[in-house]
Amino acid sequence: AQSVTQPDIHITVSEGASLELRCNYSYGATPYLFWYVQSPGQGLQLLLKYFSGDTLVQGIKGFEAEFKRSQSSFNLRKPSVHWSDAAEYFCAVGAENAGNMLTFGGGTRLMVKP
């Protein structure tokens, strides 16, 4: 069965600083991976996704993520954080043999200091 681990429950960064959110997955086949963001009272918004090809994926709002098969990781990065990036971030892996259901990590809550 697939699983996702996000080791950092909370992260605080200063506005303008760089950001890296960690994600490790376990999946028996070639994974397809997602990062979603959830702001209070709102649904999940897709930031980016990886299916195949280039292991560095660009997303919306200036985010990028790198797929590293050898490390089973799909870390999310942003070079300069804005106060509006404060939210909860979820990494997910898709299971093609189960209707493409998503298995999510526990999330990382990002706080941004002025």
Partner 1 sequence: DTGVSQDPRHKITKRGQNVTFRCDPISEHNRLYWYRQTLGQGPEFLTYFQNEAQLEKSRLLSDRFSAERPKGSFSTLEIQRTEQGDSAMYLCASSLRGGRTDTQYFGPGTRLTVL
What is the binding site for partner 1 (CB under 8 A)? Answer: 4, 6, 32, 36, 41-46, 49, 51, 90, 92, 94, 96, 98-107
Task: Name which of 4 and 112 has its Cβ closer to partner 1.
Answer: 4
Nearer to partner 1, 28 or 114 (CB): 28
**β strands within 22-104, DSSP E:** 24-26, 32-38, 44-50, 56-58, 64-68, 73-78, 87-95, 101-104
Give 92: exposed, middle or buried? Use CB within 10 Å, 0-12, 13-18, 19+.
buried
Smallest distance, partner 1 to C-beta of residue 69, A: 17
Pick the closer one to partner 1 by CB: 64 or 88: 88
The smaller minimum CB distance to partner 1, of residues 99 and 114, is found at 99
Q: How many alpha carbons fall within 13 Å on the CB side of residue 35?
A: 30
Cα–chain center distance at 36 = 6
CB 92 to partner 1: min, Å: 7
